[in-house]
Every structure is written in structure tokens, then in C-alpha cells.
Amino acid sequence: MRRYSLLRIAPLLAVALLASCGGGDRTKNAESEATQKIKVRVEKVQLVPVDQISTFTATVEADQVNNIAPAMGGRIRGIKVDVGSQVRRGQALVTMDNANLSQQQTQVATLKRDYERYKELYEVGGISRQQLDQAKTQLDVSEYALNNLDENTTLTSPVNGVVTARNYDPGDVAGQLPILTIESISPVKVKINVSESYYRQVVKGMPVEVQVDALGDETFKGSVSLIYPTIDPGSHTFTVEVSVPNNNQELRPGMFARVKMNFGTNERPLLSDKAVLKQTGSNDRYVFVEEEGKAVYTLVQLGVRINDRYEIISGLKEGDSVIVEGNTGLIDGSEVEVVE
């Protein structure tokens, strides 16, 4: 009788024991799931006004470059300046051999006398009008040649500037190279290549800021002086010429420059740089957005960096909860717990 009772009770004990063990596992699983949630801090996306500033790199250039050379080769008699000399417009720089000039001066003097005599003869009927006109034409041609020779015997500077190259010495015969190179550096200019997306926003006279590495943090104010009318089909950029006053001549041709242009203000998200992660093996940037307790992988496009924050051009909208702490090691769909 006792054996029968034990046989009936044993299955019930087994069922109770299994139930007890199963309940314990479920409790442990629930506790484990709770502990697997990653604690994170989030930042709500807000739109703020962000200046659309772009920076371009370029090289400082002279405003004008003039090569001083005679129209025809000849022997150089004297050079009055050297590399680094400051010159003024109209200043005599080089004297060439004047043998041809002397000959031409003699010829002009002779033709002038002939013309005066022909005028007297014409007035008394000694020669025809045609002969007088021929004498005048010869005189005009000879005077033009004289002026040309005079200009090419004493070479002057066409601009205010500085001598940046000298290729000959007195006594040399001028050849293919210019005798001197004069560069006007007040103002200077900088040429930059701007994305075609800004073509309508760049206007003549638009203010810009220029900095050069050689002069530290000093900023020079300039303005757009020329906008090229065509777009480069390869780079999809257009050339913009910027003029920069240089009264103290601190800026010199060849200096490396950074040009900042402000294209207005847009309402954009400004996000902590701690939230932005870089995709391994690419240049993609992404963030995690918290949605209903899960981390959602979201690609973003960055704009300018302002201190420790990034402008977000695309990928986020106002009100999104972006994870700024605890995002390391997250994957898309990870369960997270937002903490203050």
C-alpha cells in the first residue's frame, strides 16, 4: 500500500521540481537581459544658425607681372636697378645701345628740312600737291620709327612694383629672356577654385578673409575681383580671383594662403563630436540614434567644425535623440538604456 502511494506521488514531485527549476531560469534570463542593455547618454538635435564658411587653399600672386625687354635685340649699355629694387611707373630702368637712335634722329632732321622746303615750293607752284604729301608721309613714318627706337633705347617701368628677376648685365646682348621682371604687389591677388554649387552665390565685391602660414594668425581683408565665366568639366569648379590690399607689402608672391568665404547662414543641427564615428575602411561618418530603447545606425554628412561640434548637413532631423556617450561598440539594433 505504501509502495503504491510513493508511485503516485513521485510524478507530482518531479513536475513540481521541474516547474521550480524552469521558473528560476526565466528569472535569471530576465535579469540577464536587463543587465545586457547598454547605458547611454543622448543629445536632442536642435537646429541653430550656422555660418556657411568654406576655406580654400591657393598661392599669393602679383597683381601684374611685366617683362622688360626691347622690341628688337641689342646691346645693353646700362641697368639702373637690381633684384629687390622698388621702382615707380615711368622710371628709367635700362639703357640700350643708341647707335640706331642717332641715325634715326639724323634722318628725321633731314626729312623735316626737306618737308619745309617742299612746302615753300608748293606755295609758289614749284611742286604738286602729291609731291608735298609724299614728303609729309616720309616724315611721319620716320618720326614714328624714331619714337619706337627711343622707347626701346631707354626702357622704363610701366607699373609701380619690385624687381623680381634680372637676366643680363651691362654689355650683354639682349636675347630671348627679358632683361628685368617687374611685379606689382600692391595689391596682390589669389586665385581659388570654387565648387560649381556656389556659382550663384559668388558675386564681384564679395568680402573674403585671407591668412598665410608665413605670417601666423594675421588676417587680411580682401574681395572678389574677377569671376571666370566657365566651369571646369573635370573638377566641376570655377576660378575666382581675389584682390587683397598690400600697402605694407607683407604679402609676397609665392606665399601659401588660405581663403575663407562666407556663403550665408543656414539652420542646421550642431552635434557634439563625441557622437560622430568613422566607418572602418571608408570615409563615411555615422551616429547612433536612440529609438524606443534601441540604437539605430544613421549615416550623416558633416559640414564645418565649430570648436568641439560638427555641423550636420544631412542624416538627422530636429528632435532626434543622438547617442553621445556609450556609443563605442554599439551595433545597429543594440538595446540601450538612456541615463541622465
Taking residues 220-242, report their average pLDDT.
Answer: 95
Do the domain assignments include residue 114? yes
Do the domain assignments include residue 145? yes
Residues 251 and 274 in one domain: no
Residues 272 and 213 in one domain: no
Domain, as residue range, for 291: 38-53+267-338
Q: Report d(CA 74, CA 95) in Å as an integer.
A: 10
Q: Which is more confident, 97 or 286?
A: 286
Do the domain assignments include residue 277? yes
Residues 291 and 325 in one domain: yes
Q: Report d(CA 126, CA 149) in Å as an integer.
A: 35
Do the domain assignments include residue 32? no
The structural domain count of the chain equals 3
Q: Report d(CA 121, CA 128) in Å as an integer.
A: 9
Of 210, 245, 265, the one marking the end of a domain is 265
Q: Model's pTM, two decimal places?
A: 0.63
Q: Tell me the CATH number at 239.
A: 2.40.30.170
Q: How confident is the model at residue 37 (pLDDT cuts 50, 70, 90)?
A: confident
In order of 293, 305, 312, 317, the CA distances from 327 in angstroms are 13, 20, 18, 19
Q: Following DSSP, what letter does each residue of 67-126 receive, concatenated?
A: EE--SS--BEEEE---TT-EE-TT-EEEEE--HHHHHHHHHHHHHHHHHHHHHHHHHTTS
* pLDDT tops 50 at residue 73: yes
**45-54, 139-148, 222-231: range with lowest mean pLDDT:** 139-148
Residues 254 and 325 in one domain: no
Other Cβ atoms less than 10 A from the Cβ of 244: the count is 23
* pLDDT tops 70 at residue 155: yes
Do the domain assignments include residue 66? no
* pLDDT tops 50 at residue 27: no
Of 245, 265, 285, the one marking the end of a domain is 265
Residues 204 and 143 in one domain: no
Do the domain assignments include residue 202? yes
Residues 235 and 275 in one domain: no
Of 207, 239, 265, the one marking the end of a domain is 265
Q: Tell me the CATH number at 280.
A: 2.40.420.20
Residues 202 and 250 in one domain: yes
Name the 3-class secondary structure at 305: strand
Do the domain assignments include residue 195? yes
Residues 195 and 261 in one domain: yes
Residues 257 and 296 in one domain: no
Do the domain assignments include residue 169? no
